[in-house]
Chain A
Amino acid sequence: MLLSTLSEMKCKQNVLKSTDGSVEFSQGDTVVLVGAYGPADCKESKQDVKEAIVEVNFRPKIGIPGIAEKYLEQFVKGVCESCIQRSLHPRTTFSIIVQVIQDRGSLLSCAINGTSMALQDAGISMKFMPVAVTVALKHKEEVSMETDCGTEDYDVIFSPSLEEEEKAFANLTLVFDSVKSELVSTYASGPMTSFQYQQCLMSAKNVSKSIVQFFRDSVSKKLAADVL
């Protein structure tokens, strides 16, 4: 079994002037631009008297958003609802817009990590920062001569590219919280055994810690320029 390393991440905060928080986030070749607004005014028909509502909009690179985007929106929305302290701002809305600039695989995890940084950049009160890792399970292409890994005939790939996602028999996106590294939500496709799932979960959990460290470093960099 091969554990490939995570692709390189880059993060540029406060890139848009009129948003409350914005981030250009890239994971390998996948790039998203995320803008976060809130707590903002909300139509009376949509208001919730107890807590703020969250809206997520996915904008594809070309064309208008379709069903695939709507599906991702719902997933990101669920993650945001669990991390934002919504009861602090009743009758308001948090609006998040994710513009896909380049999709070369692992789009969902890139969007969630970007959203996480955008919420942080907007100074929105959160319980934790969500951290997402995409994992692909792929059959080994040729059986290597030294079969020291025994029965395992698949590779685990972190942040797979589009081609790798296509070739994989199963894809998983796991979202953890930044504090205790507990699982927040999962997006899975393809058949896998519970052992394989557990294996992905454990290794993704370890990887998520390095992403939290990346978040910490980028926040420090932003604030280092901000010292009086």
Chain B
Amino acid sequence: MLLNNVGEHIYLPGDVINSKIQTVCDGETVRLGPGLSKHNTDVTVSKAGSLCFGPPNTFWIDCHQKRYIPCKGENVIGVISGKQGDYYKVDIGSSDQALLNFLSFEGASKRNRPNLSPGDVVFGKLAIANKHMEPEMTCVDVNGKANGMGLVDDKYGILFQTSLNLARKLLSPDCILLPELGSRLAFEVIVGLNGKIALFCKSSAQTITLMKLINESEYLSNEQMLDVLKGMFL
């Protein structure tokens, strides 16, 4: 259940939403997500956008944003920008560069180091994200397996930057764009929550067309996307 979508539910920074929360979850403990904070007894909005509700008790503000703010556990795409001691420096689009340890790759050991150079693209998970520290990435899961993460071979693809909103929208199960495209065309795509998208198709022309399509889909509804797809693939 989403509480958004209508003009009357737009909130501006500073608005107090106690009464709204009480009508949905009265007397229960609630969780406040991005864009909401608690001041004394008031819940205030800090970003402009629509209020969303995720059962059982989570509230957040859905807001259009381009700048990535690291958050623990999110999957991101980054570009290696250099080496520092036992770490790679990775540009993930946030204010600080992320650190990526040589050992946080599948099968890596002190002897067997991964060989990455500046400009390489990696897909990983944020293991540490804290406002006081540099974020730290890892390319293995808890079992030490790559699980799809690691170096992204970008020789035949393209890496481009979109708004965070679009990245979240593409990853949401409600959005039909990527599954519908997949049923019509063979391609590979990696969407990072930091708004970076890596796209691989059979030919450059297809890659460019798909990139344009993804960028344009930001303000399209599911029905409009279907119309566009029907126009493209007959």
Contacts and interface: CB of A to CB of B under 8 A. Distances in A.
A joins B in a complex: yes
Interface of A: 14, 19-21, 37-42, 83, 85, 88-92, 120-129, 177-179, 212, 215-216, 219-220, 222-228
B13 A225 contact: no
Contact of B46 (A39, A127, A219): A127
A223 B96 contact: no
Contact of A85 (B10, B46, B96, B169): B46
A123 B63 contact: yes
B29 interface: no
A-B pairs, 3 with minimum CB distance: A123-B65, A128-B14, A179-B14
Nearest to B218: A226
Contact of A177 (B5, B14, B16, B66): B14
Interface in B194-231: 218-219, 221-222
B96 A41 contact: yes
Contacts of A19: 66
B48 interface: yes
A202 B50 CA distance: 31
23 contacts: A38-B67, A40-B95, A41-B96, A91-B95, A92-B95, A120-B12, A122-B65, A123-B48, A123-B65, A125-B35, A125-B37, A126-B13, A127-B44, A128-B14, A129-B13, A177-B14, A215-B12, A216-B10, A216-B12, A219-B10, A220-B7, A226-B165, A227-B4
Interface string B6-27: 0100101111100000000000
B67 A222 contact: no
Nearest to A19: B66
Nearest to A83: B13
B58 to A, nearest CB: 18
Nearest to B13: A126
Contacts of A38: 67, 95
B174 interface: yes
A125 B169 CA distance: 21
Given A39-B69, A88-B131, A129-B48, 7 more contacts: A90-B131, A91-B96, A125-B47, A129-B12, A212-B12, A219-B48, A219-B49
Interface in B144-182: 165, 169, 172, 174-175
Nearest to B66: A20
Given A126-B46, A215-B12, A227 B221 contact: yes
A52 B145 CA distance: 38
Interface in B27-68: 35, 37, 44, 46-50, 63-67
B64 A123 contact: yes
A122 B67 contact: yes
Interface string B116-137: 0000000000000001100000
B221 A228 contact: yes
A120 B48 contact: yes
Contacts of A224: 7
B46 A125 contact: yes
A117 B15 CA distance: 16
A143 to B, nearest CB: 44
A222 B64 contact: yes
A219 B46 CA distance: 14
Contacts of A219: 10, 12, 48-49
A227 B65 contact: no
Contact of B66 (A85, A122, A216, A220): A122
B229 to A, nearest CB: 16
A125 B13 contact: yes
B95 A121 contact: no
A177 B15 CA distance: 11
Contact of A128 (B13, B65, B66): B13
B67 A39 contact: yes
A21 B10 CA distance: 18
A127 B15 CA distance: 9
A178 B95 contact: no
A225 B48 CA distance: 15
